[in-house]
Chains A and B, each alone.
Chain A
């Protein structure tokens, strides 16, 4: 199954993403007001969705770790935070570039972009913390706490920034989208989601291998312990 996931999923996701982008860039009509610039949507929105999916997985894994400690959950949390950070950063950059022709500036303190920037800093802190704690069990517990608190913070940040900005400018409302646009967006989103999944699986395997190397049974012990290693009542399975 390893080979299939590794290359089959990658090929599938690249094909779907390429199709979606082709639909978006060549097939779908330009937007009535934004013109061709609107075609940024087919890369920006899928990135944001995929980043959210990754961050949500991170949150679920962190909460689950609090209830049942396991290296698999820890590895899931680590991989999803890192993948989410990469996708979210790309999403923020494309959003800022999109802002230039539409708003006239790269950064307009739009609540969504601002919340996202804060979120990215928070998850950078999460990954830095993981680097700075040696003990695997402590690292897993502490980073779960940080991930949970960071996720709880998101809606609060969003509301406060929106409130803060709303005193200055009226929030623009999302507009209706042509059916061709919807299709191109959907296909691109699925392609991005598959790529995300591929990244997640690859990173998860790495993280799990790292954890297992960290907690591997030392060679100096008698073999009976090594044999019992899998069956012992370890706190962290």
Chain B
């Protein structure tokens, strides 16, 4: 063929190219995306029904419910993002292209972070309205926790979604593997969010954000190192 020989591209370029592809697919299947958003909204709503009209209780636990809604939505989003790759063996197509497996991890995890962060941003006003809470300390803190929390759900989530998408009973397997793993992230994100919503007299926000940061550091490295072993065998 007359075309010039392809030359290898760097990790960053590959990540960006794959991320663009994932976002393009999300955009072209935005009906699916909308369904996930409505699922999260419905989850928030269901908590208020499950607890009855006790506004005090809802207000007190708003941070926890908010993060549970995001966690449930993340399981759906992660499952979808790997279902797209298993259709027509697209993951094989990427591996043989060749795309660096670490770039696949980074693009999937970053794409999922973006999606969840956007979802969380949409959920905040709904939470404020439904649960009657208000942002007491600062919106910047809330944004920081939202970003850190979504990063923390995405890295281990990507690793486990890659595994469970190739196993039987994938829909059960992903939450079973993921939920015990993200408990520390969920716990610190919910705590920190509660502090933002109810005031932070003892200045504990920093420690929870720090814990979340450490969690991210560990699992982004672990995923980066172990993900290639999952998709190459």
Touching in the complex, A and B, CB below 8 A? yes
**A-B Cβ contacts below 8 A, count:** 83
Q: Which residues of B contact A157 (CB under 8 A)?
A: 183-184
Say whether, besides A132-B173, A141-B233, A153 and B184 are in contact (CB < 8 Å).
Answer: yes
Chief secondary structure at chain B's binding surface: helix
**Interface status of B156 (Cβ within 8 A of chain A):** yes
Digit string of B151-187 for contact with A (CB within 8 Å is 1, else 0)? 0000010011001101111000100110111011001
In the complex, what distance in Å separates the CA atom of A145 from the CA atom of B232?
13
Of residues 34 to 68 in A, which have CB atoms within 8 Å of B's CB atoms?
A: 66
Q: Does the CB pair A125–B177 fall under 8 Å?
A: yes
Q: Does the CB pair B187–A152 fall under 8 Å?
A: no
Interface-forming stretch among B84-92, B107-115, B222-230?
B222-230
Q: Does the CB pair B211–A152 fall under 8 Å?
A: no
**Interface status of A137 (Cβ within 8 A of chain B):** yes
In the assembled complex, 5 residue pairs joining A and B whose CB atoms fall closer than 8 Å, in A order, are A119-B180, A128-B173, A149-B219, A150-B181, A156-B184
Q: Does the CB pair B187–A160 fall under 8 Å?
A: yes
Say whether, besides A153-B184, A160-B188, A141 and B177 are in contact (CB < 8 Å).
Answer: no
The 3 closest A-B pairs by CB, nearest first: A160-B184, A122-B180, A121-B180
Q: Which residues of A contact B (CB under 8 A)?
A: 66, 118-119, 121-122, 124-125, 128-129, 132-134, 137-138, 141-142, 145-146, 148-150, 152-153, 156-157, 159-161, 163-164, 167
In the complex, what distance in Å separates the CA atom of A133 from the CA atom of B233?
14
Q: Does the CB pair B176–A128 fall under 8 Å?
A: yes
